[in-house]
Amino acid sequence: MKRAMSAARPPRGIIAEKAFADINGARQGMFIQSGDASYPVLLFLHGGFPEYFLTDRYPTGLENDFTVAWWEQRGAGLSYRPGIPPETMTAEQFIADTLSVTDYLRNRFGTEKIYLMAHSGGTFIGLQAAARAPQLYHAYIGVAQQVHQLTSETLAYEYLLERFRQTGNRSMVRKLQAAPVTAAAGTPDGYLAVRDRAMHRLGVGTTHDMNSVLRGVFWPSLRSPYYTLGEKVRLWRGKFSSGVSALWDEMLAVDLADRVPELALPAYFFHGVYDYTVSYQLAKDYVSQLKAPLKGFYTFERSAHSPVMEEPQKARRIMRQDVLAGTNSLADGSGR
């Protein structure tokens, strides 16, 4: 179920390991990090790409309050294997995997419930998993919560086009105009080819201070001490696999406001104001109408798409004072 990290040094913390488990017939991996085994368990669902290696540059400090399982999902990172059947790369499969990983962690750490934190594309899966099995979780924490991603991409396209017009970047304007995002056409290949580069140039991508995917993500992943060389290759093979594209199409088509209008557990939502990878306004509107026994929306004023990494002290304060305490005293509109 787990193996020692012989070709790469272990992550930080008193619990610091790379673990593997059979999840619904597929060997899947995760990094588990904690300052103390008695801390409550937090399962982290990444978006379109594993994120643990980024914590070297952007330490979250979550392990000081939680036993964090940075799971790398089916077809991604530690869990990538060549020849994964495309028909298994569906939201239903990922939801089932999430619930199975949850049970693995519950059994391993001897706890009835855990916390579920999802980021970006992971929120598409995490929100539905929490809705389906609320009895397994103390709370759901959505970071850059997806709602209707096609609408989000349309808003991002319009923003990018207008900003590049204002800055006089004619080359980027031409590329965007040649591949418009619309409800009918979706996200054309020409748009996707420039999307990440365009967002990072304007500070509305992964982090507000990251202006290059190459320097901010690619090179750090290759320098990461937590993966073997073969795992680093699989990290990027998983990123560009055909199965990921199939899941993207499903995300574009579904409006979570219709699919998950209510939750039967406390729900917290963290969002950066500079985020155009996933729309800040759509998420805020969704939370305002969501029915839940307790909910809170938290605006991160200095963040783009990764507020837990960009403003870790604020995120930790919310996790300690609100999430662990079962309140929403720090949420927007709370008067504090």
Instruction: Classify 301 as helix, strand or coil.
Output: coil
How, if at all, do strands 267-272 and 137-143 pair?
Answer: parallel
How, if at all, do strands 41-45 and 15-23 pair?
Answer: unpaired
The domain 15-150+216-323 having CATH identifier 3.40.50.10190: the answer here is no
* Stated pTM of the model: 0.93
Which helix (H) or strand (E) is 152 found in, with range?
helix 149-167
Residue with tokens 């086009």: 161
Would you write out the chain's pLDDT as a tens digit for each of its 336 residues? 333 343 455 444 588 899 999 999 999 999 999 999 899 999 999 998 999 999 999 999 999 999 999 999 999 999 999 888 888 889 999 999 999 999 999 999 999 999 999 999 999 999 999 999 999 999 999 999 999 999 999 999 999 999 999 999 999 999 999 999 999 889 999 999 999 999 999 999 999 999 888 899 999 999 999 999 999 999 998 888 755 567 888 999 999 999 999 999 999 999 999 999 999 999 999 999 999 999 999 999 999 999 999 999 999 999 999 999 999 999 998 754
- How do the domains of the chain map onto residue ranges? 15-150+216-323
How, if at all, do strands 41-45 and 67-72 pair?
Answer: parallel
- Quote the CA–CA distance of 155 and 180 in Å, as a whole number: 11
Instruction: Classify 65 as helix, strand or coil.
Output: coil
- Quote the CA–CA distance of 261 and 290 in Å, as a whole number: 5
What is the predicted pLDDT for the residue at 213? Answer: 86
| Contact indicator for 221, 236 with CB cutoff of 8 Å | yes
